[in-house]
Structure 1
Amino acid sequence: MTIQHTVVFRLAHAPGSPEEAEFLDTAQATLAGIPGVSAFSINRQVSAKSDLAWQFSMVLADQAAYDGYNAHPEHVGFVEGRWVPEVVAFQEYDFVAR
């Protein structure tokens, strides 16, 4: 049973700023390379109905891959070093197919 892990968020950085671009580039390089992660994408919100501007989405093969991702040192380091200080609001969603 694959898990689609998604998080939608708003950064502290101004839209279009070098800081925003650097955060997204670092996330791509760090998170997409963690074992078990596939189909990693970064998507920009275009609806005026939400102020959460960005989405990370990835697919993990099963619960073991999901748990491994969450505990992986690269993920933990990114969350502690970048996510916590630079993300001002977020929602996390994890989906399995019906």
Structure 2
Amino acid sequence: MIRHSVIFKFKSQISSEEKQVFFKACDKLTAISGVQNFEILRQISPKNRFEYGILMEFENMDHYDYYTNHPDHLYFVENHWLKSVEDFLEIDYKPML
């Protein structure tokens, strides 16, 4: 199991409407084969500068690699992520036990 998490902060000029378009585009990533337990989360703690999180799981590294290189994911990165996100942290976990 691979747990993929990305926490991020929008660019300051991104409007509420643009955020909604971004999140709708995120939701389309669930159609990519291998994506499991997909969630979009809003940060509520003042402990860091990030605002939102995207979490998903993959059964194995092959499914994760398929997602990463899938044309729909690449389109999302190019047309939504790069235009909207100011800063992010990406973490991929594999359970230890």
Query: Normalized against structure 1, the TM-score is what?
Result: 0.91
Return structure 1 stretches of 4+ with deviation > 3 angstroms: none
RMSD: 0.9
Unmatched 5+ stretches in structure 2? none
Unmatched 5+ stretches in structure 1? none
Aligned twin of 1:20? 19
Task: Give aligned-pair identity as a percent.
Answer: 34
Query: Normalized against structure 2, the TM-score is what?
Result: 0.92
Aligned length: 94
Deviation, structure 1 residue 68 = 0.3
Deviation, structure 1 residue 60 = 0.4
Deviation per CA, 1:37-71: give whole Å up to 9, x if none. Answer: 01000000000111110000000000000100000
Equivalent runs, 1:51-66 vs 2, <5 Å? 51-66=49-64
Separation in 2, partners of 1:89, 1:96: 24
